[in-house]
A and B are shown apart, each in its own frame.
Chain A
Amino acid sequence: DGGITQSPKYLFRKEGQNVTLSCEQNLNHDAMYWYRQDPGQGLRLIYYSQIVNDFQKGDIAEGYSVSREKKESFPLTVTSAQKNPTAFYLCASSIQGPLYGNTIYFGEGSWLTVV
């Protein structure tokens, strides 16, 4: 089945530790995105990528890093510089970037908790 796969579903991070969230899509979409969702707030864009080996900062990129070495994959690293990382993280993709007129498809999300 075509879709977006995020892993792990649940992740716990210790203080000062970097963690990486995986996102893989087999929809042959050019554009991929990472969003963060906090209770009572709308989704906020962390990073997005329109093509392989290119990515752009979103509204809340500080403390996060990404890579886009393959079309299908867009991993997100939450670094120790992100002071409040506990949230629900959503990976998404669309046929083409940058978001123009295309429906965005979301993965199932990953819960990150700081312990």
Chain B
Amino acid sequence: KNQVEQSPQSLIILEGKNCTLQCNYTVSPFSNLRWYKQDTGRGPVSLTIMTFSENTKSNGRYTATLDADTKQSSLHITASQLSDSASYICVVSARAGTASKLTFGTGTRLQVTL
């Protein structure tokens, strides 16, 4: 069964600090992995998408890594801001013929405080 597990479930950090969110998956055959940011009560917004051959991808203060061998990904947030407070969702795509199926993690809820 395809699964995506994220850790920690929740995290509180001080503004200006860095943090790293983890995503472990058991999805096969792997197609790509995406990180989304979801503000409370809003729709998710895409941060990065990574394919099998990509190890690192950055989007401003967000840097995602992917280790396809260990089936792990991380999202590193640098110099956090209050606006980073949100849930971060890891989504893994499995290829099935000409189609693909998405498996969503349950998210990490990040709170950035003063």
Interface residues of A (CB under 8 A from B): 4, 40-45, 88, 90, 92, 98-101, 103-109, 111
Contacts and interface: CB of A to CB of B under 8 A. Distances in A.
A100 B100 contact: yes
Nearest to A97: B99
B106 A41 contact: yes
Interface residues of B, number: 25
Nearest to B6: A42
A42 B100 contact: no
Given A98-B99, A100-B98, 16 more contacts: A4-B43, A40-B106, A42-B4, A42-B103, A42-B104, A42-B107, A43-B89, A44-B104, A88-B41, A90-B43, A99-B99, A100-B31, A100-B100, A101-B93, A104-B46, A109-B42
B104 A99 contact: no
B43 A106 contact: yes
Interface in B22-38: 31-32, 34, 36
A97 to B, nearest CB: 8
30 contacts: A4-B43, A42-B103, A42-B104, A42-B106, A43-B44, A43-B89, A44-B104, A88-B41, A90-B43, A92-B43, A98-B98, A98-B100, A99-B93, A99-B99, A99-B101, A100-B95, A100-B98, A100-B99, A100-B100, A101-B31, A101-B32, A101-B100, A103-B34, A104-B102, A105-B46, A106-B44, A107-B43, A109-B41, A109-B42, A109-B43
